[in-house]
Amino acid sequence: MSPGEARRRAGLLVDARQYDRARPEIARALAEDPDDAAAFHVLALLEQRVGHHDDALAALDRAAALGLPPRAHLTSRLDTLYHARRFPEAVATAEELLLHDPHQVTAHVLLAQMLGSEGRADYHRARAHGEYAVQLAPENDHAHYALGQVLASTHGRRGARAALPRLQEAVRLRPDDPANLNALGVVDLTLGRSRRALRAFADALALDPTLEPAAFNVPLAMLGLVRRAGLVMTLLFLAAAVVGVSLAPRLPTSRAGASAGAGAIGHGVAVVAVLAVVGLVVVALRRSVPPTIRPAAARAWRRDPVLAPLVIAGAVLAGLSLVMVALPVPDGVHVPPLLLLGLVVRVVAVLLSRTRTARYGRERRAERAELWRPSERPPRPDVTRSS
């Protein structure tokens, strides 16, 4: 077998991610021709894919010394430095690559992501690179993803609104990329669209159950839904307090004079109305949870340390609402203490939930995210972003 044939086979095996089989082929090619720049380039790609970034950079330097064209050398070097998280060097390499090829889409995409990231924020340069990448390659989902991330990184909700169409386009172009779906979910969450955000995070986890950012974001989206449900339950509770007093029979000593109250029919109608509202809230909340994470949600409702206080408080308010409208207590004297009890429960639950949210560290966040992760984990697909 010729050195060129061994190198070609190694390249195909690297592309197929059969790294253990690719390594002996590269060794054979280099043994037969130690000055084969292309073989060192394939070796660099292999080392980069398996996470040996220093070895990959050394192989790239050797390939460049043997005559590997600057564009190929700089493109691979940029990819390696980026995955090694050596961002200052990666930025310099990308800028050098653009001197050789001003229309290199990958360089513009990675510059947008790196310059717009926290700690290296250069919003205007990052946005310019992202917009130019989209202009160069409107069908490249990476370009839309990078620009969307830059736009969402600042200006709060206004930035999120600007990023939304870019990330929607990224998902349209490549709906099987969980990174696109997770980024879209984050923007939806920023805009207060918790239900859509939860769907995006669930879809991302369905594609890659090991994607930690999506697993972390699921309970955040659930928190938005539970808070809205809690607000509805609080309004129902306050309404039930008013109705409970108005339906109650009056004693002769009351200011309004004696009356029989609304009677059993009135109280029955009020009970049915409360049960209907509670049922609608429960159904709406359940339907908001995508089917892929419903089994996890069934376990997590009572165990999630941030959501559990709010869920329990909602159940308490529902029960107290029923008691206030169901009991025909004279003058409605039962309502004030129950009203006070419900408000105390609601305030304590909100404060406890907010305190636990603020105190969560990474380790506990991971523990909490695990509650919401789908229990069935299919094999992780290949979601590596190609250059």
Helix (H, G, I), strand (E, B) or coil at 383: coil
Spatial separation of the C-alpha atoms in residues 148 and 163, rounded to whole Å: 4
Planar angle of CA 210, 214, 217, nearest 5 degrees: 140
Q: Tell me, what's the pLDDT at 250?
A: 59
**For residue range 144-165, what is the model confidence (pLDDT) as tens digits?**
999 999 999 887 899 999 999 9
Give the residue extent of every domain in the chain.
1-101, 226-250+259-372
Planar angle of CA 102, 382, 374, nearest 5 degrees: 130
**At residue 363, does pLDDT exceed 60?**
no
Number of H helices, E strands in the chain: 18, 0
- Residue in the structure block whose two tokens are 């009351």: 254
> pLDDT-derived band of residue 371, with 50, 70 and 90 as boundaries?
low
Q: Tell me, what's the pLDDT at 240?
A: 94
When pLDDT is averaged across residues 261-278 and rounded to a whole number, the result is 85
**At residue 79, does pLDDT exceed 60?**
yes
Mapping DSSP onto H, E and C, the string for 242-291 reads HHHHHHCCECCCCCCCCECCCHHHHHHHHHHHHHHHHHHHHHHHHHHCCH
Average pLDDT, the chain: 86
- Residue in the structure block whose two tokens are 């789908």: 374
Spatial separation of the C-alpha atoms in residues 177 and 384, rounded to whole Å: 9
Long-range contacts of 33-36 (CB under 8 A, 24+ apart): 33/3, 35/66, 36/3, 36/7, 36/66
Residue percentage of the chain with pLDDT more than 90: 60
Burial class (CB in 10 A: 0-12, 13-18, 19+), 365: middle
**For residue range 104-136, what is the model confidence (pLDDT) as tens digits?**
999 999 999 999 875 456 888 999 999 999 999
Question: What is the chain's alpha carbon radius of gyration, rounded to the nearest angstrom?
Answer: 30
Q: Tell me, what's the pLDDT at 71?
A: 93
Q: Tell me, what's the pLDDT at 278?
A: 96
pTM exceeds 0.75 for this model: yes
**At residue 198, does pLDDT exceed 50?**
yes
Q: Tell me, what's the pLDDT at 263?
A: 66
* Domain range 1-101, CATH architecture: Alpha Horseshoe (1.25)
CA distances from residue 156 to 113, 146, 149, 174, 221 in whole angstroms, order as listed: 18, 17, 12, 26, 17
How are the residues of the chain apportioned to helix, strand and coil, as percentages rounded to the nearest 5? 75, 0, 25
